[in-house]
């Protein structure tokens, strides 16, 4: 098979996964395609659930996993961005441009993007009030695409308070989440110390 044609078929396979990931999120008619009943709008969960055997498609799935593990958000965004880049590259391949030239262009664009982000970045870690507001804005942005978006201010404050109590240690495993059924989402609270989800025994004090 001619090389550009092979690349085109490979990209088409990737586009189908990408199309699935952002067009059929949490729709009833789309859940059966995962092989089980599942309701989710999380890109990483969807891509983990889709079986792929194409090497290029696996790269797309692995990229989403790394994004989820390192950042914890933006899995759908990086997948859509990568698929769009590949789609644009396909047009260039059709114009007889060599893949290595396209890759070199991507690397140059990456360097420019990094430099632009570095120049636009601000470090407010010396100002406690501004630093907390930065964290709150990040948390609100993340929660805007989650099921909690209607309560994003409440949970943003909860999450940021928990992070600030770590005092910069980054030991996220020190933050434990206990799930309890019943009540409302805003019944959630942050407590100092150690909580045990236990009931008192017979004839034992309740406090």
Higher per-residue confidence, 30 vs 100: 100
- Does any domain span residue 205? no
The pLDDT score that the predictor gives to residue 36 is: 55
pLDDT of residue 34: 46
| Full-model pTM | 0.61
201 in a domain, yes or no? no
Q: Is residue 207 part of a domain?
A: no
CA distances from 73 to 5, 59, 180 (A): 34, 18, 24
Helices and strands in the chain, H and E counts: 8, 0
Residue 192 inside a domain? The answer is no
The mean predicted confidence, pLDDT, of the chain is 77
**Lowest-pLDDT choice from 15-19, 49-53, 164-168, 191-195:** 15-19
Q: Is residue 158 part of a domain?
A: yes
190 contacts 161 by C-beta, under 8 angstroms: yes
Name the pLDDT band for 112 (thresholds 50, 70, 90). very high
| Max mean pLDDT range (3-12, 100-109, 196-205) | 100-109
Please say whether the beta carbons of 20 and 33 come within 8 A: yes
Q: How many residues does the chain have?
A: 207
Q: How many domains does the chain divide into?
A: 1
Of residues 165 and 36, the one with the higher pLDDT is: 165
Spatial separation of the C-alpha atoms in residues 113 and 17, rounded to whole Å: 26
* 206 located within any domain: no
CA-based R_g, the chain, Å: 23
Q: What is the structure's pLDDT at 43? A: 65
CA distance 177 to 175: 7
Q: Is 100 part of a structural domain of the chain?
A: yes
Token readout for 78 is 């990086």
Q: How far apart are the first and last CA of the chain?
A: 75
Average pLDDT of the residues in 156-168: 89
| 36: containing domain | 3-187
Taking only the tens place, the pLDDT of each residue in 46-88 is 666 766 676 777 777 888 888 888 887 788 788 888 888 888 8
């Amino acid at each position: 098979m001619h090389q550009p044609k092979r690349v085109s078929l490979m990209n088409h396979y990737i586009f189908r996964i990408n199309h699935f990931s952002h067009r059929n999120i949490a729709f009833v008619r789309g859940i059966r395609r995962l092989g089980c009943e599942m309701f989710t709008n999380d890109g990483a969960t969807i891509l983990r659930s889709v079986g792929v055997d194409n090497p290029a498609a696996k790269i797309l799935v692995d990229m989403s996993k790394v994004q989820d593990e390192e950042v914890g958000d933006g899995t759908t965004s990086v997948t859509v961005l990568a698929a769009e880049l590949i789609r644009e590259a396909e047009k260039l391949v059709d114009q007889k441009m060599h893949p290595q030239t396209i890759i070199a262009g991507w690397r140059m664009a990456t360097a420019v993007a990094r430099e632009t982000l570095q120049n636009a970045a601000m470090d407010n870690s010396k100002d406690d009030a501004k630093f907390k507001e930065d964290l709150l804005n990040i948390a609100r942005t993340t929660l805007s695409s989650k099921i909690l978006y209607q309560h994003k201010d409440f949970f943003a404050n909860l999450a940021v308070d928990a992070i600030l109590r770590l005092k910069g240690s980054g030991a996220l495993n020190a933050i434990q989440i206990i799930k309890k059924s019943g009540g409302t989402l805003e019944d959630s609270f942050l407590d100092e110390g150690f909580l045990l989800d236990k009931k008192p025994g017979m004839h034992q004090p309740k406090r």
